[in-house]
């Protein structure tokens, strides 16, 4: 059995951590889990009237295939359910088991390096300015056919940051031993290369 090698990648919304995480996973031949999808799936079920704690406790893999999980409304719902301790507890074991599977894994989210996998072999904190992240998110939404504007998206980004950073349970913050990667002025290729270099250095060490 291969020794697990866990890569924890955290950061705020639209910093690029999802794209970077997938690329890192592909480069090192590791499986990838976007843990934010777990919270989005719970949020989506809450928007349909379900109790979020019940939704978290009964979540199945098929819930992650919902095409509506990428909408701005579901993103905001995910941020709201993520502050509920019982929701976080229900999803904790799933994430930890995934992280330590044979061969290892890449997990991205907001508390992977600090709470879910504090002993991860490699930790990155991917960030960017709120304005840059809002512009990226706007482009993503517009491409997906959603009608909105920069000021609305920026307000959403800042509101989500405030919730994520100031929640009582597992607030968004870099782990003490995480490599900080600011993508504000980086192309996606440069950001991916920097992330791969950081993880390779930890694997070699």
pTM, two decimals, is: 0.86
Domains, the chain, ranges and CATH?
Answer: 6-204 (3.40.50.300)
Q: Across residues 43-70, what is the average pLDDT?
A: 92
Is 90 marked as a binding-site residue? no
Are 16 and 176 contacting, i.e. CB atoms less than 8 angstroms apart? no
Is 19 marked as a binding-site residue? yes
Is 85 marked as a binding-site residue? no
Classify residue 55 as left (phi > 0), alpha (psi -120 to 50) or beta: alpha
Q: How many CA atoms lie within 13 A of 97 on its CB side?
A: 5
Cα–Cα distance, 137 to 151 (Å, whole number): 12
Is 36 marked as a binding-site residue? no
Tens of pLDDT, residues 55-66: 999 988 788 888
Tens of pLDDT, residues 21-31: 999 999 999 99
Is 104 marked as a binding-site residue? no
Cα–Cα distance, 127 to 164 (Å, whole number): 13
Is 11 marked as a binding-site residue? yes
Q: Across residues 7-36, what is the average pLDDT?
A: 95
Q: What confidence score (pLDDT) does residue 159 get?
A: 93
Scored b (16 or more CB within 10 A) or e, 6-20 reads bbbbbbbbbbbbbbb
Is 158 marked as a binding-site residue? no
Q: What confidence score (pLDDT) does residue 200 get?
A: 97
Backbone angles phi, psi at 189, to 5 degrees: -65, -40
Cα–Cα distance, 90 to 98 (Å, whole number): 14
């Amino acid at each position: 059995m291969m020794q697990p090698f866990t890569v924890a990648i955290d950061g705020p919304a639209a910093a690029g951590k999802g794209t970077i995480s997938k690329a890192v996973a592909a480069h090192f031949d590791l499986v990838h889990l976007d843990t934010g999808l777990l919270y989005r799936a719970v949020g989506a079920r809450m928007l349909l009237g379900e109790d979020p704690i019940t939704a978290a406790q009964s979540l199945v893999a098929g819930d992650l295939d919902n095409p509506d999980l990428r909408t701005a409304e579901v993103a905001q719902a995910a941020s709201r359910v993520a502050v509920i301790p019982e929701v976080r507890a229900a999803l904790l074991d799933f994430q930890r088991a995934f992280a330590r599977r044979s061969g290892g894994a890449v997990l991205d989210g907001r508390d992977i390096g600090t709470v879910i996998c504090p002993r991860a072999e490699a930790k990155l904190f991917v960030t960017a300015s709120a304005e840059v992240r809002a512009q990226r998110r706007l482009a993503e939404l517009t491409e997906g056919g959603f009608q909105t504007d920069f000021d609305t998206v920026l307000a959403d980004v800042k509101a989500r940051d405030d919730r994520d950073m100031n929640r009582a349970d597992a607030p968004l913050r870099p782990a003490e031993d995480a490599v900080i990667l600011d993508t504000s002025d980086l192309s996606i290729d440069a950001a991916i290369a920097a992330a791969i270099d950081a993880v390779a250095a930890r694997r070699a060490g």
